[in-house]
Amino acid sequence: MKKNITILDYGSGNILSAMQSFAKVIKNNDLDADISISGNPKSIKNSSHLVMPGQGAFETCIMGLKNIPGMIEELNKYALEQKKPFFGICVGMQLLANNSEENGNHEGLGWVDGTIRKLPSKNIKMPHMGWNSIKILKNNFKITPKETDYYFVHSYYFDCKNKENILAETNYGLNFPSIICKENIYGFQFHPEKSSDQGLDIIKNFLKL
């Protein structure tokens, strides 16, 4: 069956970088798939795989979603009811939390229990930017990353309430979740689309779901 991949455009996130990486994986692996960028909630209905990039402030990103009529409802239907594959990147991962403490207290999508908190800045440079390794905590999942370096850019982390949702963690001031998962929902604190071949491998595994 042909896959229909949508990169979600809600005014925040490195859309073109994500698009290029997914397109490269499709081409290199000869996958039967169409890929598009869309900010129209109606396009979610026809998607087999949904990708939500994100960069900048949590509040700006969540308001970007809320300001598109029908977007939150379609996202909830896609991920929570239909349980189709979802791929959140950086702030696109953090939006899955219940709330964020960045610049106040802001409500998230609430798909994965947790709170977005600031990384401790004592004796370390902020933001956490550049290559860092991940430690795999669970290996019984379909997206299998390598225990190697991936590319990070962030100052806040996902304080995950249920440790069962943490697939991998990274150390920078503290141990924080670098990959989370809840059933069909995957979130990556690092940028797979900027993480060389190991990042493309993660995208390939996602598209096989």
Which pLDDT belongs to residue 142? 79
Q: Does residue 89 contact residue 18 with C-beta atoms inside 8 Å?
A: yes
Q: Does residue 196 contact residue 203 with C-beta atoms inside 8 Å?
A: no
This prediction has a pTM of 0.96
Options 3.90.1210.10, 3.40.1190.20, 2.40.30.10, 3.40.50.880; CATH for 3-207 is 3.40.50.880
Q: Which residues pair with 58 in a beta bridge?
A: none
Which pLDDT belongs to residue 7? 97
3-state SS of the chain is: CCEEEEEECCCCCCHHHHHHHHHHHHHHCCCCEEEEEECCHHHHHCCCEEEECCCCCHHHHHHHHHCCCCHHHHHHHHHHHCCCCEEEECHHHHCCCCEECCCCCEECCCCCCEEEEECCCCCCCCCEEEEEECEECCCCCCCCCCCCEEEEEECEEEEECCHHHEEEEEECCCEEEEEEEECCEEEECCCHHHCHHHHHHHHHHHHCC
Which pLDDT belongs to residue 21? 97
Strand 156-160: give its sheet, edge to edge.
Answer: 106-107, 99-100, 114-118, 156-160
Which pLDDT belongs to residue 1? 87
Which pLDDT belongs to residue 141? 64
Which pLDDT belongs to residue 143? 83
List, by residue number, the catalytic residues. Answer: 90, 191, 193
Q: From first to last of the 209 residues of the chain, give the pLDDT tens digit.
A: 899 999 999 998 779 999 999 999 999 999 999 999 999 999 999 999 999 999 899 999 999 999 999 999 999 999 999 999 999 999 999 999 999 999 999 999 999 999 999 999 888 999 999 999 999 998 756 788 999 999 999 999 999 999 999 999 999 999 999 999 999 999 999 999 999 999 999 999 999 99
